[in-house]
Amino acid sequence: MSPRGDRGALPAELPGFADFFTAEYPRVVHSLMRAGATYEEAEDATQDAMQELLRTWADCKCPAGWVRTAAWHAYCKKAERNRRRLVLESRTAHLSGPAPAAPPEPDEHKRVLEALRALPPRQGQVLALHLDGYSAQEIAALLGVKASTVRSNLRHAIAALRSSLENHEEDEGGSHVRKG
């Protein structure tokens, strides 16, 4: 091994990978954020997926689709773990200390995030790919399901999102009426 370690020897494919990374990295992060990931979660998941892609770069026939799928799985895994940890920490804090003040009213951005995160993972994934410009047929090929299933998932995702946001508006409107 060279004094520079493994980095002394560049894989021959790396220049191609560098171009791919430069073009696709922001798009994958963007795609995950549109599906409800925080910026940090999206970056972590995309980095993990790109790292994995780098190992199989020479054999990967469809890197753009591959990296999106891998990033989505990495995001789901980490996000689920992080949120479970936060819930546990929050419960522990409740038990050990005085009751916290009522949480502030979530703003619109947070409400959309909550609605997105409440979607079943497959619906969220389909929505993310859809917003990234993929057609139903392409998503179907990527996920190994029928195009009709993709459309159904997408329809349910959009309807659920809309319903969730509208319900909140109604609740908010109702509470205002009651207060008045």
Partner 1 sequence: MSARDDHGLATRRAQPKSTRVATQHVHPAFERFLRAVRADIESRLTPDVVQERLRRLTGPAATAPAADRTRSAGVPRFESRAGWAAYGYHVIRLWLLAIAATGSPRARLRRNDVDELAVETVARALSSFRDQELHPLPEPRTADAALKAAFLTECVRHLPYVNRSLRLMTEQVSFEEFEDTDDIDLVGALWDCATTGRAEELRRAARDAGGEGEGEGDADEIVTLTPIAIRSAVQRYPEAVTPGSIA
Query: Is the Cβ–Cβ distance between 48 and 29 less than 8 Å?
Result: no
Regarding 156 and contact with partner 1 (CB under 8 A), the answer is: no
Q: For the chain, what is the total number of helices (H) and then of strands (E)?
A: 7, 0
Token reading at 8: 């002394």
CB nearer to partner 1: give 4 or 101.
4
Q: Which is nearer to partner 1, 90 or 148 (CB)?
A: 148
State which of residues 86, 162, 170, 172 lies at the interface with partner 1 (CB under 8 A): 162
Closest residue by Cα to residue 49 from 23, 17, 73 = 73
CB distance 34 to 131 below 8 Å: yes
Cβ contacts of 24 within 8 Å, gap of 6 or more:
63, 64, 67
Phi, psi of 12 (to 5 degrees): -60, -25
What secondary structure letter does DSSP report for 99? P
Q: How far is the CB of 121 from partner 1 (least distance, A)?
A: 18
Q: Can you tell me which of 65, 66, 82, 138 binds partner 1, judged by CB under 8 A?
A: 138
Work out whether 69 is an interface residue with partner 1 (CB under 8 A).
no
Query: Hey, which residues between 31 and 60 contact partner 1 (CB under 8 A)?
Result: 33-34, 39, 43, 47, 50-51, 54, 57-58
Q: What is the largest CA-CA distance in the chain?
A: 75
Interaction residues for partner 1, span 99-128 (CB under 8 A): 108-109, 111-113, 115
User: What is the contact surface with partner 1 in residues (CB under 8 A)?
Assistant: 4, 7-8, 10, 12-26, 29-30, 33-34, 39, 43, 47, 50-51, 54, 57-58, 63-64, 108-109, 111-113, 115, 130-138, 141, 146-148, 151, 154-155, 158-159, 161-162, 165-166
